[in-house]
Amino acid sequence: MRTLPSARRVLLFWLLVAGAGLLGGASPLACRATSPRPHPEVSPSAGKAGVTHRSFKPTAARNWRGASKQQLDCTIWYPASPEAHEAAQQIGPPQHPLFLMGEAAPDAAFEPGGGQRPLILLSHGTGGSAAQMAWLGTALARAGMIAVAVDHPGNNASDHYTPEGFLLWWERATDLSEVLDGMLADTEFAPHIDRKLIGAAGFSLGGYTVLELAGAQTDLSAMVEHCHEQPQDTACRVPEMKDLPPGATLLQTVRKTSGESLARSGDSFADPRIRAVFAIAPALGYTLTDDSLRQIRLPVEIVVGAADPIAGPAENADRLRALIHGARETVLPGGVAHYTFLDLCTETGKQELPVYCVDNPGVDRNAIHQQVSLEAIGFFQKTLRWR
């Protein structure tokens, strides 16, 4: 068991992270596989997906991580009426988009019938956005579920990045809990949501975030040790932080604005309303304490690429699967890497954003998305006992 960091170790953490950057014994029931294994009862859905947006404004005091907008901006995908007209979803300039998000029907009527449905909360990776979860959110909607992704304050590509947005990563769980509050109070969506069927899925730092909702707790000293021993590790120097101020400025800002958040970094952010968690290439898995992981009793499924250089299986997914009771892990073979789990890229995207858009030879990003979506749909259908 790791001990929570002392004040001295926490200060060392800030000095190290501000200068270097920050990412994004086995249980007998744990299961590891090396290729996707869709749940046998799942079949592709021919339903249509609707898409809309919400901005939730929690009234309780909270840490906004220096964000310019004190609201939780969300994208929602949901089962749409068969008569709905779907259109292409894109990220980037209309004439030269960078990412393709599949098709969905903007503000379409909700699919009639079907009763109340599961709600799945989605969390993007560090520096990403709700829109980068479209490939999964759309698939969940076509399967009859409601999916809502949030732009995490200070850490999303739709707004300005902030030091706090990158460094106070444990605060992300509060975003999802308050988005859940907002969805359950929304007059349009609440009647369609079964409050007993709430799940969460996330990519990269979003995978860490949804594990927080399941009860995982953070030990900052693990990050200190990791980046001290492996300072050149991609996890300690993530590309998304390149435009932030120098390390000394980051440290000064965070110490002034977020002492209270820093003090509660090791607290539990578990949300008892969450019934199942699906983590895709979860990052910072080594910062989650052994004891808190062993105490998780929710169904947990993990998917990771074998060639992931940022959240490699050995110290992230493998460790999580070994410590979480009954967890199931799929390691996608070949050249599947970290950013394979972002939306599809256009040719413009591949030219302008090669780090995020150019996959290893032989990797079909669209096929991987379809496989993982099918796995997620089956997981939530089974664990939430829906359909």
Residue 342 has what DSSP assignment? Answer: S
- Mean pLDDT of residues grouped by 10 in the chain (387 residues)? 39 34 38 58 71 95 88 97 94 92 96 94 94 97 98 89 86 97 98 98 97 94 66 59 56 77 92 98 93 97 95 92 96 95 96 95 96 97 93
Query: What pLDDT was estimated at residue 30?
Result: 54
Residue type, 162: T
Task: Judge contact between 172 and 75, C-beta under 8 A.
Answer: no
- 206: Cβ–Cβ under 8 A, 6 or more apart, which residues? 122, 123, 124, 125, 128, 133, 172, 280
Query: What pLDDT was estimated at residue 255?
Result: 76
Task: Judge contact between 161 and 22, C-beta under 8 A.
Answer: no
Instruction: Determine, yes or no, domain membership for 2.
Output: no
For the whole model, what pTM was predicted?
A: 0.88
CA 184 – CA 274 distance, rounded (Å): 13
**Residues in a beta bridge with 80:** 48, 110
CA 47 – CA 81 distance, rounded (Å): 8
Instruction: Determine, yes or no, domain membership for 127.
Output: yes
Task: Judge contact between 176 and 269, C-beta under 8 A.
Answer: no
Three-state DSSP state, 229: helix
CATH number reported for the structural domain that contains residue 33 in this entry: 3.40.50.1820
What sections of the chain are H helices per DSSP? 7-20, 134-142, 163-167, 172-185, 205-214, 220-229, 247-257, 259-263, 290-294, 317-323, 347-352, 354-357, 365-383
Query: What pLDDT was estimated at residue 250?
Result: 63
Work out whether strand 99-106 and strand 31-33 pair parallel, antiparallel, or are unpaired: unpaired
Instruction: Determine, yes or no, domain membership for 143.
Output: yes
Residue type, 282: P
CA 100 – CA 128 distance, rounded (Å): 15
Query: What pLDDT was estimated at residue 244?
Result: 59
The structural domain count of the chain equals 1
Instruction: Tally Cβ neighbours within 10 Å of residue 18.
Output: 24
Q: The domain containing residue 319 runs over which residues? A: 7-24+29-383
Query: What pLDDT was estimated at residue 101?
Result: 94
Residue 293 has what DSSP assignment? Answer: H
- At what angle are helices 7-20 and 220-229 packed, to 10 degrees? 50
Residue type, 271: D
Task: Judge contact between 98 and 346, C-beta under 8 A.
Answer: yes
Instruction: Determine, yes or no, domain membership for 1.
Output: no
Instruction: Tally Cβ neighbours within 10 Å of residue 1.
Output: 8
Query: What pLDDT was estimated at residue 65?
Result: 86
Instruction: Determine, yes or no, domain membership for 269.
Output: yes
Instruction: Determine, yes or no, domain membership for 184.
Output: yes
Task: Judge contact between 203 and 317, C-beta under 8 A.
Answer: no
